Amino acid sequence: MSTPTLNSAGKKRGRALGVTLSSYLFLLPALVLLFVFTVYPVLYGSYLGFTKYTALQFGTGQPPQWIGLENFRTLAGDDLFRIGLANSLKYLLVVPVLQIASLAVAVLVNRSLPGITFFRAAYYIPVITSVSLAAVMWDWIYNKDGTLNWFLKSLHILGQNANISWLLNPDTAFWAIMFVTFWRGFGYYMVLYLAGLQSIPAELEEAATLDGASRAQTFWRVTVPLMKPTILLCSLLSTLSALRVLDEIIVFTNGTGGPLNSTYTALLYVYKKSFGGLDFNYGLASAAGLVVAVLALGLSIINFRYFRDASVRA
Amino acid sequence: MRLRKRLRQAGVYAVLVGILIFAIFPFLWTFVISVTDSGSVTTGRTVYDFPASLLPARVTLANFVTVFQTYPALGRAFLNSVIISGLSVLGTLIVSSLAAYPLARNDFWGKAAVFSLIIATLVLPTETSFLVNMLTLAKLRQLPVVGELLGVGSYLGVVLPTLSTAFGIFLMRQAFLTIPGSLLEAARMDGATELQVLRRIMLPLAKPSLAALAIFTLVGTWNSYFWPSIALTGAQDKLPLAVEMLKLKGAFNDNIFNTAAGAMIMMLPILLLFVFAQKHFMRGLDGAVK
């Protein structure tokens, strides 16, 4: 009797091994690509931050040369990097505005009115617009003969002779670009918030109303606390993408970060020092990227702390 | 009471329309410019003569022809966008489905660890990944025979780094998890190979998720600007529309009618896709959250 048992155990083990082998065979392409193009760049890029490594070394096959914190000292003394960092942090101002507006719009469209799905869909269109297309279209709004000046003049906010080139003025370019980020983002977060709102059981809000709570009370005491996970996710996503802003700057300023460096961001510095300029200093660029990564980590932790504590209080 | 409700509803619609104008004004404006007959805009009255120019004196489709004639790179760029997006969609679907199948359906050694690692890549700081990926592509370029196909300045060079994502694998895994196990067992009993089970049973039943992932990937690559603009360094003839668009703007600084036509040409495929496959857009986004 023992022989068949052994046999089937052996078969079972053989089958288990076969399953493991075939599973990894299926996983192989994904894992290889994920490692080579996603994991390895982070590891190697972090290492490069502590080395001297230039296009010349890369071209001649010389390895990166370990120089410790030298790159970070260079960064600390580089005004351009400081400006970039300051502008990237300033870009975070878009986050609260974007989140509050998106949540408000989500609440607005979270009702059954005729045609509401049309409005939801239309608000999503800026999200599926390429950043380079946005640059082309908004240029006609922002230039000195553009529609923004006309609009502000007809509201008498601007004098009849004012002709502002919004993207060429160092006082306005930064905010003009940030406004496009807002335009391209609010539909995205609206959909996320809408999904959150619709996952709240209607009975909870009804119960609050039956207990005599006003609409505002129901919203702040019932809906918002239940939305905490979505709010955390959205504010985290938008914090990270604001800190990492790069595409908008490149397409709106032709990669200059101008006028007068008023739109120069930290990741633009990384791009300029690596491929977008004349330095081709991969070590320094990687070090700058590491600084942004550490900041991103810090901001993520703050986000988690803030919203976790807030939900405990609520 | 009823009047108050009516008024309230009218107020809601007023706000909805206000936001609508904010959201789509740039498109409306671009569309109007693209169909304005440039000959009808006489000196002293430019297209910027707002709001009169919102109703062009003469409507024409000529700009859509002239832009291709005076800027031949546009046709090529359109084709490049189709190729790059097509390769990305196909590659992403294949790579993600292959990886998701065992993660959803097999018990194997190390499964939990592999899955956690894949999910963990979502939080990696990818600020400078483009830098190292460029160096990798430059190295690939030096390989004999395949170098020109994979390295800097090749279609695959643009596409490869974007194919394998935690998002795609996760989305497909969730889809495969919902398929009844009895179907699989039956197929395996009949002696179907794993690849046959995936192709004949799993993929057909996961069509909605495949569609969502395809659309998500397509829109992402069609619109992507930064990565293709550096990965295709030295390969002007392979640049996609998103990159060529900005050059078009520079080339026609004084003829915005052509630029507007080019912009509409780039936007139209995505817009049509959005109109006809709207539910998949939202579905993909939901998948990204959960």
Report DSSP letters for chain A, one per residue.
-HHHHHHHHHHHHHHHHHHHHHHHHHHHHHHHHHIIIIIHHHHHHHHHTTEE-BHHHHHHTPPPEE-TTHHHHHHHT-HHHHHHHHHHHHGGGHHHHHHHHHHHHHHHHSS--TTHHHHHHHHHGGGGS-HHHHHHHHHHHHSTTSHHHHHHHHTTSS-TT----TTT-TTTHHHHHHHHHHHHHHHHHHHHHHHHHHTS-HHHHHHHHHTT--HHHHIIIIIHHHHHHHHHHHHHHHHHHHHT--HHHHHHHTTS--STTTT--HHHHHHHHHTSSS--BHHHHHHHHHHHHHHHHHHHHHHHHHHHHHHHH-
Instruction: Reply yes or no on whether the pLDDT at A48 is more than 50.
Output: yes
Interface test with A, best of B16, B36, B127, B233 (most A CBs within 10 A): B127
Nearest Cα of chain A lies from the Cα of B119 at a distance, in angstroms, of 11
Closest CA in chain A for residue B123: A297
Whether B274 sits inside 8 A of A121 (CB atoms) is yes
Is-contact A27 B99, C-beta < 8 A? yes
pLDDT for A77 equals 96
CA distance B212 to B3: 43
Chain segment A10-33, per-residue pLDDT in tens: 667 777 888 899 999 999 999 999
Whether B132 sits inside 8 A of A38 (CB atoms) is no
* A vs B: CB pairs below 8 A: 248
Whether B114 sits inside 8 A of A27 (CB atoms) is yes
Provide mean pLDDT across the span A64-75: 97
B259 CB neighbours in chain A (<8 A) are 136
**Poorest-confidence range of A23-37, A135-149, B144-158, B251-265?**
B251-265
Whether A150 sits inside 8 A of B50 (CB atoms) is yes
Whether B246 sits inside 8 A of A191 (CB atoms) is no
Residue A311 — pLDDT band, cuts 50, 70, 90? Answer: low
Nearest Cα of chain B lies from the Cα of A16 at a distance, in angstroms, of 7
Whether B230 sits inside 8 A of A113 (CB atoms) is no
Residue B75 vs residue B289, higher pLDDT: B75
Instruction: Reply yes or no on whether the pLDDT at A145 is more than 90.
Output: no
pLDDT for B283 equals 62
Nearest Cα of chain B lies from the Cα of A55 at a distance, in angstroms, of 9
Whether A286 sits inside 8 A of B274 (CB atoms) is no
Highest mean pLDDT among B26-30, B123-127, B281-285: B26-30
Nearest Cα of chain A lies from the Cα of B84 at a distance, in angstroms, of 15
Provide mean pLDDT across the span A124-134: 95
Identify which of B164, B246, B286 has the shortest CB distance to residue A132: B246
Chain segment A77-91, per-residue pLDDT in tens: 999 999 999 999 999
Residue B126 — pLDDT band, cuts 50, 70, 90? Answer: confident
Chain segment B218-271, per-residue pLDDT in tens: 999 999 999 999 999 989 999 999 999 988 887 766 678 889 999 999 999 999
Total-model pTM: 0.91
Whether A289 sits inside 8 A of B131 (CB atoms) is yes
Instruction: Reply yes or no on whether the pLDDT at A2 is more than 50.
Output: no
ipTM: 0.91
A143 CB neighbours in chain B (<8 A) are 48
Whether A30 sits inside 8 A of B118 (CB atoms) is yes
Residue B45 — pLDDT band, cuts 50, 70, 90? Answer: low
